[in-house]
Chains A and B, each alone.
Chain A
Amino acid sequence: MAIEVNDGNFEEVVVKSDKPVVVDFWAEWCGPCRMVGPIIEELSKEYAGKVVVTKCDVDNNPQVAAKFGIRNIPTVLFFKNGTIVDKQVGAVPKNNFVSKINALL
């Protein structure tokens, strides 16, 4: 299961992580997010122990969304050592996420 991150735990779970972190910014009303959601869940299993895979509901966590300038969803950010190293906006096939994650390892 992808870890739910929010305004409260973002710093701890994402920024301070010693492993690479993937954050899927999404919202319930967003159709395209529903295509990316299941991919993120699969990745959380496939990369368990190697990469921290998380998701962040932008409607409930406006601070994080604003901090990273999230204007469009789904947006997936890739963090390494607390900084953003890559980004994927929009509903795209799983391969796009896989290659970006593999580049973090």
Chain B
Amino acid sequence: MTVCIFAASSSRIDSEYVAVAATLGSLLAHEGIDVVFGGGGIGLMGKLADAVLENGGKITGVIPAFMKEEGWGHNELTEMIITPDMSERKKKMFSMSDAVVALPGGIGTLEELTEAITLKQLSLFNGPIIILNTNGYYDSLLKFIDHMISNNFMRFEHKGIWETANTPEEVLTALNNKERGNEEWRKIAKI
């Protein structure tokens, strides 16, 4: 299994978030789950990659050429794939992955997470999407999505597209879960 991880590139965040990224990287490596990520060398991305590598795991970075040239890339990855731009980067990451996990992050992470949800809603990506909601970081986003639903901008059934986890351990449980809940929305949409 290959899991695509979206996560912060900022290194100014609280140490608790950093510790969670490291724990997740270590758990994925021990579980033998390959990782695809944005290739960053710092922030949660960098910490996750370090943890995967330290624990003998396999991690592939996908980074746009301009970021690589700026020196933002991690230097010791199993493999680094260079893309011409940001859009190709995401396209590549989705095409390589069986599942998506979003850690806390900034606007870039938010954009990647919401693209994953959009693609799945359109049946263009079919894997699990897991939101790691460390310290309730994503609570206000999830509340905003409920606001979309209550105002009919989004279908209630589409809440089944993603799952939330509070800890890295719960992410692993979700990834290993073969029996997903009600997936009827994949075949039929309510109107």
Contact = CB atoms under 8 A, between A and B. Distances in A.
Interface residues of B, number: 13
Nearest to B189: A30
A33 B189 contact: yes
**Most-contacted residue by chain B among A27, A31, A34 (CB, 10 A):** A31
A27 B122 contact: no
A73 B191 contact: yes
Nearest to A92: B187
A95 interface: no
Interface string B111-144: 0000000001111100000000000000000000
A34 B191 contact: no
Nearest to A25: B191
B68 interface: no
Interface stretch (A16-24, A46-54, A64-72): A64-72
Interface in B88-113: none
Nearest to B187: A90
Contact of B188 (A29, A34, A72): A72
B123 A31 contact: yes
B186 interface: yes
Contacts of B185: 31-32
B122 A31 contact: yes
A32 B191 contact: no
Interface in A59-105: 59, 65, 70-74, 89-92
A20 B191 CA distance: 26
Contacts of B122: 31, 34
A58 interface: yes
A73 B122 CA distance: 13
B123 A72 contact: no
Interface of B: 120-124, 155, 185-191
